[in-house]
Amino acid sequence: MARRGLEVLLLSVLALACGRVSDDPPAGGASAGSNAGGAQPVPDGSAGSDVGGAAGSEELSQVDLTGAPIYTRVQRLTNSQWENAVNDILRFQQRHALATGFSPPPSGLTPFDNNEQVLFVDQGRFDQFETGAEAAAAIATGSPAALAALYPGDDATGFVRVLGRRAFRRPLTPAEETKYQGVFALGESLYGPGFANGAALVIRALLESPHFLYRTELGPAGDPLNPYELASKLSFWLLGTTPSDALLDAAAAGTLASNDELVAAAREMLEDPRAVPVMRDFHGQLLHIASFDSIRKNGVPEYDSSINPELTLASNAFFDFIFSQNLGLRELLTSTKAYVGPGLAPLYGVKTPAALELRDFGPSRTGYFMQVPFLMLSSQDSESNPILRGSQLEQAMLCGRLGMVEAPPLPPLVPGQTNRERVAQSTEGCGASCHRNIDPLGFAFENFDGLGRKRDMDNGSPVDTSGSFPLAEGVESFADGNELMTVLASSAQVHTCYSKQVTSYALGRDLVESDRPLLESLARVSRSHSLKELIVTLVQDPAFRTRKAGMP
């Protein structure tokens, strides 16, 4: 298999670093989330309650941990990690979007796009990395100022040693130093005398090496990661980029092997502004923020597609607020604050601000799932869509076992029929099992229409937002979305699910049953502490700090 061939290659001293690497895409993987169109993931009926009703205790839900991790210890950088690392390694004075044309990972196979199963290198992707390395080298050597920012000297030996450590995230071996000094000389031979010509070829070779493209955790399974591996793992997770020179210095001194030093490094990164967009990406993938671009509301005169970018901005601003203010899942579910811009203000029924600003809505809207962006995304034209709303909430916050089911279009409303009655009637034919995990959740938001506006009546009848749901700890009843969010914020299952999502994103792999003790431990932290504290707790666990048995 091509993947194993690459990993074997990494276990030995590489030949010339600009040699090509390749891999094959995975044959399959766990299904991911949904968006507003196409087949919608709904529970497979393994647990839950009847539509709108309660279930017996023997059918309680729990966090599903039936993933299929590879446990690779040779993990490719994501496109964004590659771009951030190149900008930082080469000390660009302004950011360059070098990965814009890179192929994205296959969608829908894994919960997050940094999962090991979708980060492969095929011929097309290698060509893109090669082109990106060439463009980066041209920028870095394009002027005396750029070269001076990259390396202040004019000697090949020092240049190779300094840049090589940044690119490989560890010191070069003596053999590697000799090899890349030869590459430097080859550059001057091919393109003419001059430091820039030698430096450019070295940059290209380093950036095309598997030692740069892949973050490795090599060595015997079960052993602790070495300080350089920890520095890379921590920095790419929390900052989305390569370790700084200072962090590599700390690794060289052996300090990151100490739990206290590792925690201190993690806490420092969590206060770095670069951590904010990383956690924004995590929440954005978890809650399908990219789907806002595709929202359409046919036949709804109050809808203007120009609001779509504002939905993204408002959601991201809320996620940034939760993270930056040292808050956690409880506040994500129960905060009464939301961001409002000129387009959102009429839907919220508030005074229009000049720009995006944070507003407190009191008890009328509790948490992200009662904000307009989520409600508008998980609806159909002007109507609410309890199936979709419940499905997306269940996926993100309850982690039940899901299957992909094509949700049939709902029939037109008949006189005097509420939307809830229509959904219940329409789903009877497929059996209660396929909707008992999602419909009760979606019904809790029936007091919001397809644009996320509040409503008290539905087709001439009062809306009914009551229901019950079989959480792992027991069946919980609720009168409306506010009560549901309060119930979820106190649920061990929900905090275990959120811990699963954070851990999967952090480790870049699926989670399995053997991970349950870790997730339950993290859930106890999540219930009373912030996301940052959950992250610090994970950093200290052997799941983060040791090598797993896997490939190679």
Q: SS3 of 337, please?
A: strand
**Phi, psi dihedral angles at 367 (to 5 degrees):** 80, 175
Q: Which of 415, 398, 421 is nearest to 459 (CA)?
A: 415
Burial degree of 371 (CB within 10 A; 0-12, 13-18, 19+): buried
| Chain segment 263-273, per-residue pLDDT in tens | 999 999 999 99
Q: What is the pLDDT of residue 406?
A: 52
Mean pLDDT for the stretch of residues 323-352: 98
Q: How many CB atoms lie within 10 A of CB 6?
A: 22
Asked whether 45 and 434 are in contact (CB, 8 A), the reply is yes
Mean pLDDT for the stretch of residues 264-290: 98
What pTM value is reported for the model? 0.88
Q: What is the pLDDT of residue 426?
A: 80
43 pLDDT exceeds 50? no
pLDDT class of 7 with cuts at 50, 70, 90: very low
Q: SS3 of 516, please?
A: helix
Percent of the residues in the chain that have a pLDDT greater than 90, as a whole number = 78
pLDDT class of 551 with cuts at 50, 70, 90: low
Sign of the Cα torsion 206, 504, 288, 530 reads negative
Q: How many CB atoms lie within 10 A of CB 325?
A: 12
Q: What is the pLDDT of residue 61?
A: 76
Q: What is the pLDDT of residue 438?
A: 85
Mean pLDDT for the stretch of residues 466-493: 95
Q: SS3 of 44, please?
A: coil
Mean pLDDT for the stretch of residues 406-418: 78
pLDDT class of 535 with cuts at 50, 70, 90: very high
pLDDT class of 430 with cuts at 50, 70, 90: low
Q: Give the pair of three-digit tokens for residue 402.
A: 């899901």
Q: What is the pLDDT of residue 5?
A: 34
Q: How far is CA 28 from CA 31, 94, 285, in A?
A: 9, 39, 19
Q: How many CB atoms lie within 10 A of CB 47?
A: 21
CA 2 – CA 4 distance, rounded (Å)? 5
Asked whether 400 and 437 are in contact (CB, 8 A), the reply is yes
> Looking up tokens 């999962």, which residue turns up?
115
Please count the helices (runs of H) and the strands (runs of E) in the chain: 24, 12
| Chain segment 198-241, per-residue pLDDT in tens | 999 999 999 999 999 999 999 888 899 999 999 999 999 999 99
Mean pLDDT for the stretch of residues 444-459: 96
Q: Is 222 left (phi over 0), alpha (psi -120 to 50) or beta?
A: left
CA 484 – CA 486 distance, rounded (Å)? 5
| Chain segment 95-119, per-residue pLDDT in tens | 999 999 999 999 889 999 999 999 9
Q: At what angle do helices 386-397 and 492-507 cross, to 10 degrees?
A: 70
Of 105 and 56, the structure prediction assigns the larger pLDDT to: 105
Q: Is 460 left (phi over 0), alpha (psi -120 to 50) or beta?
A: left
Q: What is the pLDDT of residue 408?
A: 62
Of 417 and 22, the structure prediction assigns the larger pLDDT to: 417
